[in-house]
Structures are given as C-alpha cells and as structure tokens.
C-alpha cells in the first residue's frame, strides 16, 4: 500500500508540474492574466479539482475542458476568464452578386440590339448562383473582463451550436 501511495503521489506531482508549466506558457503568451495564473496555480497546488478535469467538447481541433478552450490555430483561452458566450451570425455580403446581376442586365439590354446578349445572361446567372450559394458565417464570441473576443468562425451552424453549448456547460459547472 505504501509503494502504491508513493507512486501515485509522484505521478500526481509530475502532472501538477506539467499543468503549471502550461499555465506559465499561457501567461507568457498573454492568454491568461497574472491573476488567473495565480488562481489556477493555487488550485493545482492545493489539489482542488486536479482529478476532476472534464472534457466538454473535442473535435476538429477544438477542445473545451474545465480549464481551457483550445483552438486549431494553437490559440487557447483560460475558461476561468470567460464570463459569457454567444453565437453571432454574420450574413454574407450581397455586393458581388448584386454587381454581377446589374452589370449582366446592362450587357443583356445593350446586347439585344446587336444580338450579343448572351454575355449579359451569363453574368446574371453567375450573380444569382453566387447569391444562392453564399452561406452565413457563425462566430463564437467570448466575453471576458477585458471585453469581447471573436474566438472561432465556421459556416457549419450545427457544429458551432455544439461548441457554444459545451462552453456554456463548462461555465455553468464552474459556477
């Protein structure tokens, strides 16, 4: 029994040391504040919730745990600093399709007299297709003490709703 406890203690201390190293790296990169660093370090050293790290979401390079929100571009956010999360829908710009349609009508009507209205028809068709295929972009917006941050973008609404749901579950669990 004594050997088991000794091995468990050593493994746990190595795990805590690794977590503190990660926190130092996040602090040096400016991802977390000095205050967040101190709070998390005290939590790790006191043994509170060390074994309770929970993964709320993991997929496509995004991972949400009790302590971190990690993105595919190696950006991480300390969950202790996140106070709210929302999903913002950004509609696609209609400028290009509208411009193609207007120029297409111009060429179409100008070409009717000369018999060369097909170029205008092609531009109109391209404008309509581009407008029909344009999808909105969904953005995960994190609220922190220092303001709002657009953390993640995707055109997949269902996937983004899952990410927001996981972030909110993490915030609720944290209390």
- Shared domain for 33 and 64, answered yes or no, is no
Task: State whether 104 and 81 are in the same domain.
Answer: no
Bridge partner residues of 76 (DSSP): 70
> Strand, coil or helix: what is 175?
coil
Instruction: Specify whether 110 is located in the same domain as 44.
Output: no
Do 41 and 119 lie in one domain? The reply is no
Question: Does the model's pTM come out above 0.75?
Answer: no
87 and 29, same structural domain? no
Confidence of residue 156 (pLDDT cuts 50, 70, 90): very high
Residues 6 and 61 in one domain: no
Asked if 54 contacts 65 with a C-beta cutoff of 8 angstroms, the reply is yes
Backbone angles phi, psi at 8, to 5 degrees: -60, -45
Domain of 107, in residue numbers = 96-132
Residues with Cβ < 8 Å from 27, sequence gap 6 or more? 33, 34, 36, 37
Structural contact between residues 76 and 25, judged by C-beta atoms closer than 8 angstroms: no
> What pLDDT, in 10s, does the model give residues 108-140?
888 877 777 888 899 999 999 999 999 999 999
Please write the tens of the pLDDT for every residue from 21-73: 888 887 787 767 787 788 778 777 776 554 467 889 999 899 999 889 999 98
Same-domain check for residues 118 and 146: no
Could you tell me if 140 and 173 lie in one domain? yes
Say which range, 9-23, 61-75, 135-149, 156-170, has the weakest mean pLDDT.
9-23
The answer to whether residues 23 and 39 belong to one domain is yes
Tell me how many domains the chain contains: 3
143-149: Cβ within 8 A, 24+ apart:
143/82, 143/83, 143/84, 143/85, 143/86, 144/77, 144/81, 144/82, 144/83, 145/81, 145/83, 149/77
> What is the per-residue burial (b if ≥16 Cβ within 10 Å, else e) of 140-163?
bebebeeeeeebbeeeeeebbebb
- According to the model, what pLDDT value does residue 114 have? 77
Q: 2 and 48 in one domain?
A: yes
Q: Are 37 and 67 in the same domain?
A: no
What integer pLDDT is reported at residue 24 of this predicted model? 85
Closest CA to 37 of 50, 28, 46, 49: 28
CATH code (residue 76) = 2.30.29
38 and 103 assigned to the same domain: no
Query: Cα(40)–Cα(55) distance, rounded to whole angstroms?
Result: 17
């Amino acid at each position: 029994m004594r050997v088991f406890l000794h091995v468990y203690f050593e493994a746990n201390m190595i795990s805590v040391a690794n977590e503190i190293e990660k926190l130092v790296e996040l602090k040096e990169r400016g991802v977390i504040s000095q205050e967040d660093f101190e709070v998390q370090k005290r939590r790790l050293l006191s043994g509170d919730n060390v074994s309770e790290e929970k993964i709320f979401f993991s997929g496509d390079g995004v991972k949400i745990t009790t302590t971190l929100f990690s993105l595919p571009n190696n950006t991480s956010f300390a969950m202790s600093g996140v106070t709210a999360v929302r999903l913002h829908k950004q509609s696609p710009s209609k400028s290009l399709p509208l411009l193609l349609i207007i120029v297409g009508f111009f060429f179409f009507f100008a070409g009717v007299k000369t018999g060369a209205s097909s170029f205008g028809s092609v531009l109109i068709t391209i404008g309509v297709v581009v407008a029909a295929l344009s999808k909105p972009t969904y953005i995960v917006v994190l609220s922190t003490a220092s303001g709002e941050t657009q953390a993640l973008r995707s055109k997949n609404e269902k996937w983004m709703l899952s990410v927001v749901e996981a972030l909110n579950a993490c915030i609720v669990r944290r209390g």
